[in-house]
């Protein structure tokens, strides 16, 4: 089963519904994780895998149909996001390689130094415990 790190509008809730409300999205399990990347916000969030910053999100264990839905949502192959492998670090200090949607370089926008997409964090659609990096916006 594919595992994908999500950090923005794909987060939704752990039952599957997200901002896009796609019917074929099925999440088998999820865990809070971070990856080494830098987050930017234009009218949407995106990350660049820089190996230095830290972005908070979740790793979803999904099926192939869900990966295809995510590819469609993220415009894979149409000049939008790229899907790449990255190392996710979990709260228990284990790591694993996962898929992530990102850009290869910065495309403008505001840098989010706290590595969190506040539209989800502040509205508690995806609460991260305070000791795991959540901050007040």
Asked whether residue 50 carries a pLDDT value surpassing 70, the answer given is yes
CATH class label, 3-125: alpha beta
At 116, the pLDDT band (50, 70, 90 cuts) reads confident
pLDDT digits (tens, 9 = 90+) for 16-39: 556 566 777 888 888 999 999 999
Q: How many CB atoms lie within 10 A of CB 126?
A: 25
Asked whether residue 131 carries a pLDDT value surpassing 90, the answer given is no
53-92 exposure pattern, b = at least 16 Cβ within 10 A, e = fewer = bbbbbbbbbbeeebbebbbebbebeeeebebeebbbeeee
Higher pLDDT, 111 or 123: 111
Q: Phi/psi class of residue 21: alpha, beta or left (left: φ > 0; alpha: ψ in -120 to 50)?
A: left
- Parse the chain into domains and list their residue ranges: 3-125
Asked whether residue 109 carries a pLDDT value surpassing 60, the answer given is yes
pLDDT value, residue 130: 40
Asked whether residue 84 carries a pLDDT value surpassing 90, the answer given is yes
Higher pLDDT, 130 or 137: 130
Cα four-point dihedral sign 34, 19, 64, 48: negative
């Amino acid at each position: 089963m594919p595992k994908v790190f999500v950090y923005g509008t794909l987060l939704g809730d752990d039952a599957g519904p997200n901002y896009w409300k796609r019917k074929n999205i099925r999440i088998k399990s999820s865990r809070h994780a971070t990856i080494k990347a830098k987050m930017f916000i234009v009218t949407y969030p995106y990350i660049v895998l820089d190996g230095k910053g830290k972005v908070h999100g979740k790793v979803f264990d999904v099926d192939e149909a869900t990966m295809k839905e995510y590819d469609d949502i993220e415009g894979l192959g149409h000049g939008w996001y790229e899907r790449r492998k990255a190392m996710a670090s979990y709260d228990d200090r284990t790591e694993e390689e996962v898929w992530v949607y990102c850009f290869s370089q910065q495309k403008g926008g505001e840098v989010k130094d706290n590595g969190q997409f506040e539209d989800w964090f502040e509205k508690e659609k995806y609460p991260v415990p305070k000791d795991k990096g959540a901050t007040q916006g």
